[in-house]
């Protein structure tokens, strides 16, 4: 019998699996990764074996990003945030829910009536993923990470038509201005902080800029892919970030707009764009932070 050869082959494969697993054991740092998903947003925050995914991009390419930055045996994303129901932010979330175990989903109770949203709603409902609705002033703790929710405010919902108050994903009906309802949060991890504003329009930017809870941050995800219909100078002055990340791909509106890039240049903010460098990974131990990005790696 030559069976020992087969046993040997299996042992060799086991050894290889374990070796790769050892290399994928997470370090003790926080990683904020803007995934290169083209025009759209998908931002993964990982700390140890805890992950927070904000938006899922326009297609399933977000899955490659999760596969790359999560250890292969970790099949759970602790928190998924869907900032608003636009297709370039939420289409990929459907695939994420199909492929991963989801701890909780933070999502607005607004139903835009699109097919993309309908499919997402079906996946969330069908799998019984616990739903949290955001509220201004809410604080979520995930491991050592804290998320302070800054938008949407309760008043915003009053403008909408009530659809079904018991449906946590469709309390209100919405047809346009979904950006207005973008979930905005401030992330804190020890001394590091980041600002994640979804696709907020200038009016929300300006409103947030005068709020006391909005203060200096290290990191900002530029709202609305660098559209002029997003970041305002007031908000930038209030936040004074060191690093700005623009999640953008080929588009017909000339995003990111020169006005926004000039504004960031004026305040000496270092800009990283996913269309130029691929995934943008910012790593922090809670005090120091550094950027790791490599074209197409």
Partner 1 sequence: MTDKPPISKFISRVLVRNLTLIIFVSLLIVFRYFTTRPIYKNGDTVRITATILTDPVSYPGSQGLKVAGLTVYLPTFPEVSYGDGIVVEGIVDEGKLKNAKLISVSGNRSFGSFARNKIIFFYQKVLPQPMSGLTAGITLGSKGTLTSDFWNRVKFTGVAHVVVASGTNVTFVVSFLMGVLTLILPRKKAILFVIVGIILYLFLSGFDAPLVRAAIMAVLTFWAVETGRLVDAWRVLLLTGGIMLIIQPDWLGDIGFALSFVSTASIMLLEKRIAKWLRPVPGVLREGLSTSLAAQVGVAPILFVTFGRFNIWSPIINALVLWTIPYIMVLGSVGGVVGLMFPFLGKMILWLSYPLNWWFVKVVYLFG
User: CB of 234 within 8 A of CB of 282?
Assistant: no
* Minimal distance, residue 72 CB to partner 1, in Å: 5
The nearer residue to partner 1, 18 or 161, going by C-beta atoms, is 18
Beta strands in the chain (DSSP E): 30-34, 43-47, 50-54, 76-82, 101-107, 110-111, 131-132, 139-142, 145-151, 161-162, 172-173, 184-189, 192-196, 219-221, 243-246, 270-273, 280-284, 289-292
Residue among 3 and 166 whose Cβ is closer to partner 1: 3
Nearest distance, CB of residue 30 and partner 1, angstroms? 20
Contacts with partner 1, residue ranges (CB under 8 A): 1-3, 5-6, 8-10, 13-14, 16-17, 19-20, 38, 58-61, 63-64, 66-68, 70, 72-73, 75, 87, 91, 98-99, 115-116, 119, 297
Whole-number Å distance between alpha carbons of 263 and 238: 14
Residue 54 CB burial class (10 angstroms; 0-12, 13-18, ≥19):
buried
Using the minimum distance from each CB to partner 1, give the nearer residue, 61 or 234. 61
CB of 17 to partner 1, least distance (A): 5
* Minimum separation from the CB atom of position 193 to partner 1 (A): 29
| Closer residue to partner 1, CB minimum distance, 33 or 116 | 116
Q: Name which of 98 and 237 has its Cβ closer to partner 1.
A: 98
Query: From the CB of 99, what's the least distance to partner 1, in Å?
Result: 5
CB 185 within 8 A of CB 163: no
Cβ at position 56, least distance to partner 1 in Å: 12
Q: Cα(8)–Cα(204) distance, rounded to whole angstroms?
A: 63
- 151: how many CB neighbours lie within 10 A of its CB? 24
- Closest to partner 1 by CB, 75 or 288: 75
Alpha-carbon gap, residue 244 to 222, rounded angstroms: 6
The nearer residue to partner 1, 58 or 109, going by C-beta atoms, is: 58
Minimum separation from the CB atom of position 155 to partner 1 (A): 33
Give the strands of the sheet with 161-162, arranged side by side.
Answer: 110-111, 172-173, 161-162
SS3 assignment, position 67? helix
């Amino acid at each position: 019998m030559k069976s020992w050869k087969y046993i040997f082959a299996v042992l060799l494969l086991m050894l290889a699996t374990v070796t790769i697993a050892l290399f994928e054991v997470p370090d003790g740092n926080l990683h904020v990764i803007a995934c290169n998903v083209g025009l759209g947003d998908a931002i993964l925050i990982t700390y140890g074996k805890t992950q927070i995914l904000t938006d899922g991009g326009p297609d399933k390419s977000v899955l490659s990003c999760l596969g790359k930055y999560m250890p292969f045996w970790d099949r759970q994303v602790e928190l998924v945030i869907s900032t608003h129901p636009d297709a370039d932010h939420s289409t990929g979330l459907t695939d994420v829910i199909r492929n991963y175990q989801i701890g909780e989903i933070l999502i607005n109770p607004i139903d835009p009536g699109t097919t993309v949203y309908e499919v997402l709603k079906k996946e969330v409902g069908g799998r019984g993923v616990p739903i949290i609705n955001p509220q201004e002033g809410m604080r979520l703790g995930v491991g050592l990470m804290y998320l302070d929710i800054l938008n949407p405010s309760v008043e915003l919902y009053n403008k909408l038509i009530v659809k079904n108050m018991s449906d946590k994903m469709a309390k209100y009906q919405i047809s346009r201005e979904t950006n207005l309802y973008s979930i905005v949060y401030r992330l804190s991890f020890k001394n590091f902080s980041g600002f994640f504003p979804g696709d907020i329009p200038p009016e929300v930017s300006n409103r947030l800029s005068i709020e006391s809870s909005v203060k200096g941050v290290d990191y900002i995800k530029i709202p609305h892919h660098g559209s002029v219909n997003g970041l305002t100078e007031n908000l930038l002055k209030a936040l004074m970030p060191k690093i700005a990340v623009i999640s953008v791909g080929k588009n017909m509106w000339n995003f990111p707009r020169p006005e926004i890039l000039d504004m960031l240049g004026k305040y000496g903010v270092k800009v990283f764009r996913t269309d130029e460098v691929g995934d943008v990974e910012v790593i922090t131990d809670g005090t120091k932070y550094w950027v790791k990005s490599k074209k197409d790696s």
